Structure 1
Amino acid sequence: MQTIKYPAIEHPDDWLKCIAKEFSKSIHNNCLEIPKHLGKGEFRQYYPCEWLTVSYLKISLNEAIEFQRIGMPNRPYIPVVFYLADAKQVVDNKQYQVGMHKPNGIFMPSPDIESKWVIPANESITNLTLAFKKEWLLSQIQDSGAYISQLINNKDSFYVFESITPTLLRTIEKIENEIESNQLCKLSIYSSTIQLFTQFTKQLNNREKLNAKSNITSYDVKKLFEIRQLILDNITDVPLIETLASKVAMSSSKLQKSFKLVFGKSITQYALREKMRMAKDMLSTQSYSVSDVAYKLGYSNVSHFAKAFNKCYQINPGAYLESLACL
């Protein structure tokens, strides 16, 4: 398996230049194409301002490649990596399964942390990374006691994993759509990435407060993600809480309490919110009527669906559909 080594970055374009050198390829308009003998796809970078670098890759490899980050103390940038496909991450000789639907969907290491990331063969891999200057981060955090502020100010090495919640995913998808449609400009990427980073830091700070108050183990978190996936897979007819609890050998009360601690909503609230999000997405295609969407999402009564949609988005689904026709 080929290994590509690169140091923690000192300058915004260091990473892309290092990858280009390893591939013996040239960079054109901040874009690097994968050599055809290795696979297909590309690496892209954007520089909306002097303290922010955005890296995006969408590739499929013929053979697995290991990317090895070499830790470099006192480098000015801290990366926040959003794994949108399943892969393996090795940190401190520990292997983690990372991905959009894994508990470890986001990785943020200090500059001196070494890590390895294996991209498997014959799989489409997408990855989004925001690299921020430490000084800028600290200047934006008003609460010196905030968890992320403590991490950065501390002289010790650190790395943290977080999950990609539906809220984060929607912002990521917005950025992806802008990139794929080539509609990205400095203003839009600045706005979208700041929104994404703000959501991430808020989640990180809240999670630390919750963990301090609870006795949820990493095993529990893994099981809770299995429950979340079960809910999403059966969104039109979500299993009873007792049934879900039995799937992961938890009591119903512990499942409900733990789920809300980790995902910020009760199981019922979470399922309803995701169902309404799906409804809005379907209506946005303008390919379905309100009744079509209601029935596809398991509602036998259209008025019940309309009431739930209106409560979630403060607009009747029929009115929402009409508003799309006016655009």
Structure 2
Amino acid sequence: MTTDIIEINNFVVLIDSTDAQEAEIYKCSFDQDMIGITFYDSGNVEVHVEYESGSQVLKNSKGIAMSFLGNDTVSFSHKISQSEPLNTVSIFSTLEHIHQLQDQEKSLFETYLHGLLYSSNAFELGPQVTMTAEMHLAISKIFQTPFQNSTRLLFLKSQILELLSHYFAQIEEKPQASFPQGEQEQLFQAKEIILQNMNQPPTLTELSKLVGMNNSKLNKNFKQLFGMPVFKYLQAQRLHKAYRLLKEEELSVQEVAWNVGYDSLSSFSNAFQKQYGCRPSALTA
């Protein structure tokens, strides 16, 4: 695990990455009340949360942005899967610092994270949203920036502010869905099946049978929880993978298209431009 820790205007930012071939476990805790917002650009992490009154297990995977509150009695144990490289960006602030922000900035946290700011619990989850293409793009820029020293810090500040802006905008656009624990587990299982079979995904009917939920309910509840219907989510994740391959691997556009499950190069190119605002060939020039 490689962790880059920077401080931006009293916010602590952790930029984590690993491509280890074996599962990794690392632990952490806080020394005061903290709010965290984590963006899972890629990778899968199982987080065991222990606190005085109980415990929780969170299964966080790529494409999710989530927030939480934790105090000094909470401990976190992260088990990072070796199934694919991990790239995450986490933004932390003390409650004290948030309450001291200027009115305009403070109002954002009070509007969208009110339940965390005024919670009496040791640990509490806040809003979770599906990451947009703009969020993925901002994180890609964070990991790939050529800037150094003070120039890099200035650039990272701009990207962190962009991530926060997109996160709050997603919360505003998406009513927070609430499902019984069993149904929520079925929906997360459906998401994992999609992510693990992007090249040859099951049909909606096959997916429904695999998770034990009928077609219409699965598609409707999936959209409520993850922000988009099943196969729109599949397309977004395919294109995100394609973006990473184009930036990080020496592959042709055609090879990338095949890699993410597109038989038609023109269909791939058009979908990529719609999501990222440019043709895939622009990333290989």
TM-score by length of 1: 0.64
Residue 247 of structure 1: CA displacement? 1.2
Paired AA for residue 30 in structure 2: R
Structure 2 matches for 1:1-327, cutoff 5 A? 44-49=4-9, 51-56=10-15, 67-71=28-32, 78-80=35-37, 85-98=45-58, 100-101=60-61, 106-109=66-69, 112=71, 114-118=73-77, 128-132=89-93, 133-134=97-98, 135-136=100-101, 139-140=104-105, 142=107, 146-149=111-114, 151-152=116-117, 154=118, 156-157=120-121, 159-163=124-128, 165-167=130-132, 168=135, 171-178=138-145, 185-206=152-173, 209-211=175-177, 216-285=179-248, 287-318=250-281, 320=282, 324-325=284-285
Tell whether the 8 Å contact from 1:52 to 1:130 is kept in structure 2 after alignment.
yes
Q: Please, which moves more after superposition, 121-130 or 234-243?
A: 121-130
Paired AA for residue 297 in structure 1: V
> Structure 1 residues 146 and 68 mapped into 2: Cα distance closer, same or farther (>3 Å)?
closer
What does the per-residue CA deviation read over 1:152-171, in whole Å, with 9 as the maximum and x for residues that have no partner?
Answer: 2x374462255474435554
Equivalenced residues, count: 268
Tell whether the 8 Å contact from 1:97 to 1:104 is kept in structure 2 after alignment.
no
Residue 268 of structure 1: CA displacement? 1.9
Residue 195 of structure 1: CA displacement? 2.0
2: distance between equivalents of 1:145 and 1:265?
26
Gaps of 5+ in 1: 1-40
Residue 264 of structure 1: CA displacement? 1.1
Structure of greater Rg: 1
Instruction: Provide the secondary structure at the position in 2 that maps to 1:98.
Output: strand
What does the per-residue CA deviation read over 1:137-190, in whole Å, with 9 as the maximum and x for residues that have no partner?
Answer: 7531557972424642x37446225547443555445434459x8667321221
1: distance between equivalents of 2:109 and 2:126?
21
Instruction: Provide the secondary structure at the position in 2 that maps to 1:53.
Output: strand
Instruction: Provide the secondary structure at the position in 2 that maps to 1:250.
Output: coil
> Structure 1 residues 42 and 266 mapped into 2: Cα distance closer, same or farther (>3 Å)?
closer
Tell whether the 8 Å contact from 2:69 to 2:124 is kept in structure 1 after alignment.
yes
1: distance between equivalents of 2:267 and 2:80?
47
> Structure 1 residues 104 and 137 mapped into 2: Cα distance closer, same or farther (>3 Å)?
farther
Residue 254 of structure 1: CA displacement? 0.6
Instruction: Provide the secondary structure at the position in 1 that maps to 2:176.
Output: helix
User: CA RMSD for the aligned pairs?
Assistant: 4.1
> Structure 1 residues 219 and 191 mapped into 2: Cα distance closer, same or farther (>3 Å)?
farther
Q: Percent identity between the aligned chains?
A: 20
Tell whether the 8 Å contact from 2:17 to 2:87 is kept in structure 1 after alignment.
yes
TM-score by length of 2: 0.72
> Structure 1 residues 144 and 290 mapped into 2: Cα distance closer, same or farther (>3 Å)?
closer
Instruction: Provide the secondary structure at the position in 2 that maps to 1:185.
Output: helix
